[in-house]
Structure 1
Amino acid sequence: MKKKYTLQTAPFIVPTDDGKLIKEHFGLASDGNAQVSIAHMVAPPGWSEPFQTPEFDEYTFIIKGKKQFIIDKETIVLEAGQSIKVEKHTQLQYSNPFEHPCEYIAICLPAFSIDTVNRED
């Protein structure tokens, strides 16, 4: 009988060069799932990404620390226990300009793809 669940015990660790830890539990890189991606992340102090306009909705839940979002030129800071949904086709930038790491969960619908995140140069 086929199992009706998938237990993820070895998430895909996405290679980065900015000190950010990304463990994708489900998604294109880990299990080929194009419908959703779920990743556990830790952003170090001083980390930031370029502005982007993703072709997917992104949900973020902060576990520890704080994370800064610039969404359509509005700055929002989330703290532990808070969450946000950013709709696809919205220009945004993620960063951690704070003195402590930020640990969080990110869920993308459809799944995160480097081809559809549309990062600016």
Structure 2
Amino acid sequence: MATLKPQASLFDAPASSPIEAAVNWIGAVLIGELAVGLCVLAVAFVGFLMMSGRVPIKTGMRVAIGCFVILGAPSIAVGFLRVWEPSSPRAASTSPIAANPPPAREPPRADYDPYAGASVRTDR
């Protein structure tokens, strides 16, 4: 026997904004597998042109760095946000400063030689 399930009304608000969904889709396309594939093809093509002498090395490096920036954009953005984010107030140091400093050590004897040892003969 077939059961009927209630369907959402056309007048109900969507669960997520269509603009938000479109922006998420564009972000996934720009940084997803398609972008990785296009970057691989671009680097391979420019590398081939560099080896044949048709493209200068500076342009080839620009393409490679551009691919790294595009694919690393989320990590770069998170890093910038952490740097510019107002930092929380630091907690007071856990170790209090000692009121009395520890006693000073005695300096070594003047005739003390740290390198004199078993390898130096003293019986002469």
What range is the shorter-chain TM-score in? under 0.3
Judging by fraction of residues, say which structure has more strand. Answer: 1
Judging by fraction of residues, say which structure has more helix. Answer: 2
Which one has more relative contact order, counting CA pairs under 8 Å at least 6 apart? 1
Instruction: Please tell me whether Structure 1 or Structure 2 has the larger radius of gyration of its CA atoms.
Output: 2
TM-score (norm 1): 0.17
TM-score (norm 2): 0.17
